[in-house]
Structure 1
Amino acid sequence: MSNYFIKEEKIRFQHVDYAGIVFYPRFLEMLNALVEDWFEEALERPFSTIHETNGIPTVDLKVQFKKAARLGETLTKYLWVKNLGGASVNCGFRFKDAEGNTCLEGEVTLVNVAISKDRNAIKAEPFSEDMKEKITPYIVSES
């Protein structure tokens, strides 16, 4: 599991609906937090500095909701790289409960973009060689 970026998240009251299960948009917020943590902790590129000159928008997202997650549970969130392109990275993700059951899984494609100084133009910009080196260890070949 060394190729996976892993974080835990406790399901809090703010995440759930009246039935006490995670309201589906909160899962996407948890995914975004996982991506932000990966960039900051593993890739040493925190969002607080990325957005001064660049961005890393989500351009494609596929999600499957497999099992409800409930208030008080702790989820283990996994993220890995399926494909690294010149300016894009396609990541797989999976959220599991304490028993190892998958609650959520899917893939997300992010694109590195340059933002003009006047903020009116955004265009894809290849990852630097340094960034590619930092991303590469998270590539998981699927068979």
Structure 2
Amino acid sequence: MSAGTSRSTPPDRAALEGLFSAPVRVRFSHCDPAGIVYFPRWFDLMNDVVEDWFAESLGLDYRGFH
């Protein structure tokens, strides 16, 4: 890697087109005593994001889709 390049450089806007993001708050109750999110909770959190993606980006009813 040359001195002029940085791994932390954010991608330009064109590289982000078409991406969907939704903030997800990981709560205390989602984790075990070591602070690791329980696997079933990750599935729940990610499914919530998929449902938001259907509604907000695709304009589809997730429940009706299934």
Give unpaired runs (5+ residues) of structure 2. Answer: 1-15
Instruction: Answer yes or no: is 1:21 the counterpart of 2:36.
Output: yes
Partner Cα distance (1:31, 1:11) in 2: 11
Cα RMSD for the two superposed structures = 1.5
Partner of 1:34: 49
Letter in 2 for 1:22: V
Runs of 4+ in 1 over 3 A off after TM superposition: none
Partner of 2:25: 10
Encode CA deviations 1:47-79: one digit per residue, 9 max, x unaligned.
Answer: 35x1xxx41xxxxxxxxxxxxxxxxxxxxxxxx
Seq. identity, %: 37
Partner Cα distance (1:37, 1:18) in 2: 29
Offset at residue 23 of structure 1 (A): 1.0
Encode CA deviations 1:62-107: one digit per residue, 9 max, x unaligned.
Answer: xxxxxxxxxxxxxxxxxxxxxxxxxxxxxxxxxxxxxxxxxxxxxx
Kindly indicate which of the two structures has a greater share of residues assigned to strand. Answer: 1
What is the TM-score with the length of structure 2 in the denominator? Answer: 0.64
Partner Cα distance (2:58, 2:29) in 1: 29
What is the TM-score with the length of structure 1 in the denominator? Answer: 0.33
- The number of equivalent residue pairs is 51
Partner Cα distance (2:55, 2:29) in 1: 24
Partner Cα distance (2:46, 2:26) in 1: 13
Kindly indicate which of the two structures has a greater share of residues assigned to helix. Answer: 2
Give unpaired runs (5+ residues) of structure 1. Answer: 56-143
Letter in 1 for 2:50: V
Larger radius of gyration: 2
Letter in 1 for 2:44: E
